[in-house]
């Protein structure tokens, strides 16, 4: 199995990355120029980025598919094909925006839309099973674009005992590591996840795991209280409320926070049922909507700070945390993060403040993972996912 190939070093290639996260707010499409120098250092230069919001009926149907009783084979199959069409259109649009042609692109790496993720082993007929479902048919993407497409990245890691997540830390190791500083990379999408890059680290020294809810609970509450709104824009609602200390303390008892890494979570834990529980607890305490949203916002900030204190600080005190994802645009959430981390000597920066592009980061990661798959290079970090060994990730569709 190749971990590096001489024929890719010194070359510059173009790749498209497609990402649709747990918030289901649209398709992120990035075109990146990816190069590797003779020393093996990888660099990615963003050429174009677009976000294509899902049509409202598509977004509503995806949310229905999160409920296993609703996710019948015909509905999942139909959405799998439809998302393939939408992803292909997003890829072609981003390629045009970069001033390139489809023939210039080496590969499309598409994460797909996760509708179910079960990383903990379940015994069936004597087998320990882990499984995951991402939809957005790669064969459709390849056929419509004429570009090889890699999809279904998580399954290979799970097949060798991993959680199938998080996968982005492998690309963060390639692109962000520094010799003299320990960095934290915190993504706040629907779920929060942290990557720890110790100064001068080797791949096996990278730590990464899901910290807990990111925007998922905040967005869920906003959508219930404010029909037609999908998020707390600018943290305005949270800032108009008062955080409830007793409720926050009760929420902090969720066992997930104390589980040691490697670990991952998702909508199965922090989805609609959890939002319903929050609403019930808020009603019992007589909280206003803005107070409940302020409390959920602080819970996300606390969960990130707690994860750092509990699992990272004792071994790898960090100098800075670089925050990306939709949560990086929520000043109320960022203020909470600063209150949690800066007393411990960790400076909190956004991706933009660090010279990067927050919205495009994960899409660029899957462009890079797509190239790794195309080259037969391993793309997971067993220290992060819990896999027994490094493996090549993804399934290749090529209609040429």
Calculated CA dihedral for residues 41, 47, 48, 49, nearest 10 degrees: 20
For residues 281 and 319, state if they share a domain.
yes
Report the alpha-carbon distance of residue 146 to residue 88 in Å, rounded: 10
| Structural domain harbouring 340 | 170-345
**Domain-located, residue 355:** no
Residue ranges for the binding site for ATP?
21-28
* Cis peptide leading into residue 166 (ω within 30°): yes
Instruction: Break the chain down into helix, strand, coil percent, rounded to 5.
Output: 45, 25, 35
User: Residue 71 falls within a domain, yes or no?
Assistant: yes
Same domain, 325 and 368: no
User: Which residues lie closer than 8 Å to 161 by C-beta, 6 or more apart?
Assistant: 130, 386, 387, 388
Pair 231, 254 in one domain: yes
What is the percent of the chain with per-residue pLDDT over 90, rounded to a whole number? 87
218 and 276 together in one domain = yes
Query: 202 and 111, same structural domain?
Result: no
Same domain? 314 vs 261: yes
Q: Both tokens of residue 278?
A: 């929050």
Across 292-317, average pLDDT: 98
Nearest to 105 by CA among 29, 52, 171: 29
CATH number of the domain within which 264 lies: 3.30.420.40
Distance (Å, whole) CA 121 – CA 127: 9
Asked, for residue 354, whether it belongs to a domain, the answer is no
Shared domain check, 152 and 185? no
The model's confidence at residue 8, banded by pLDDT at 50, 70 and 90, is low
pLDDT of residue 40: 78
For the chain, the domain total comes to 2
Q: Is residue 157 part of a domain?
A: yes
Condensed to tens digits (0 to 9), the pLDDT of residues 76-130 reads 999 999 999 999 999 999 999 999 999 999 999 999 999 998 888 999 999 999 9
Q: List the beta bridge partners of residue 33.
A: 14, 45
**Could you tell me which residues are annotated as the binding site?**
21-28
Is residue 289, in this structure, part of any structural domain at all?
Answer: yes
Compute the distance between CA of residue 264 and CA of residue 190 in angstroms, rounded to an integer: 13
Q: Is the per-residue pLDDT at 245 higher than 70?
A: yes
353 falls within a domain: no
Residues 264, 155 within the same domain: no
Percentage with pLDDT > 70 across the chain: 98
Residues 333 and 187 in one domain: yes
pLDDT tens figures, 176-212: 999 999 999 999 989 999 999 999 999 999 999 999 9
> Residue 226 and residue 148: Cα distance in Å, rounded?
42
Cβ atoms of 184 and 211 closer than 8 Å: no
- Specify the DSSP element, H or E, that contains 82: helix 73-97
Is the pLDDT reported for residue 149 higher than 50? yes
**Residues 292 and 375 occupy one common structural domain:** no
Same-domain pairing of 294 and 149: no
Same domain, residue pair 23 and 64: yes
């Amino acid at each position: 199995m190749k971990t590096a190939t001489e024929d890719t070093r010194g070359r510059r290639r173009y790749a498209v990355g497609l990402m649709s996260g747990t918030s289901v707010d649209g398709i992120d499409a990035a075109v990146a120029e990816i190069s590797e120098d003779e020393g093996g250092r990888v660099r990615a230069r963003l050429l174009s980025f677009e976000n294509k919001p899902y049509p409202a009926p598509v977004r509503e149907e995806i949310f229905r598919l999160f409920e296993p009783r609703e996710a019948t084979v015909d509905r999942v199959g139909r959405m799998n094909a439809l998302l393939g069409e939408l992803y292909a259109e997003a890829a072609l649009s981003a390629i045009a925006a970069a001033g390139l042609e489809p023939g210039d692109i080496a590969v499309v790496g598409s994460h797909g839309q996760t509708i179910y993720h079960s990383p903990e082993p379940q015994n069936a007929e004597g087998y320990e099973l882990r499984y995951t479902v991402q939809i957005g048919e790669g064969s459709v993407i390849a056929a419509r674009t004429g570009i090889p497409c890699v999809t279904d990245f998580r399954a290979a890691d799970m097949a060798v005992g991993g959680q199938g997540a998080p996968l982005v830390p492998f690309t963060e190791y390639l692109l962000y590591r520094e010799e003299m500083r320990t960095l934290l990379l915190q993504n706040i999408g629907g779920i929060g996840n942290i990557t720890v890059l110790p100064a001068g680290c080797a791949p096996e020294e990278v730590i990464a795991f899901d910290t807990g809810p990111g925007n998922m609970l905040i967005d869920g509450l906003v959508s219930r209280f404010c029909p037609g709104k999908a998020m707390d824009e600018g943290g305005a609602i949270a800032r108009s409320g008062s955080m409830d200390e007793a409720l926050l303390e009760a929420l902090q008892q969720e066992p997930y926070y104390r589980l040691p890494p490697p670990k991952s979570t998702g909508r199965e834990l922090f989805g609609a049922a959890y939002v319903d529980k929050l609403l019930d607890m808020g009603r019992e305490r007589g909280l206003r909507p803005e107070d409940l949203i302020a409390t959920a916002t602080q819970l996300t900030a606390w969960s990130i700070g707690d994860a750092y204190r509990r699992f990272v600080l004792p071994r790898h005190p960090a100098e800075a945390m670089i925050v990306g994802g939709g949560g990086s645009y929520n000043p109320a959430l960022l203020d909470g993060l600063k209150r949690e981390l800066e007393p411990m000597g960790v400076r909190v920066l956004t991706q933009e403040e660090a010279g990067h592009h927050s919205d495009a980061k994960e899409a660029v990661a899957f462009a890079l993972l797509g190239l790794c798959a195309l080259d037969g290079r391993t793309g997971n970090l067993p220290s992060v996912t819990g896999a027994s060994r490094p493996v090549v990730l993804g399934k290749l569709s090529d209609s040429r």
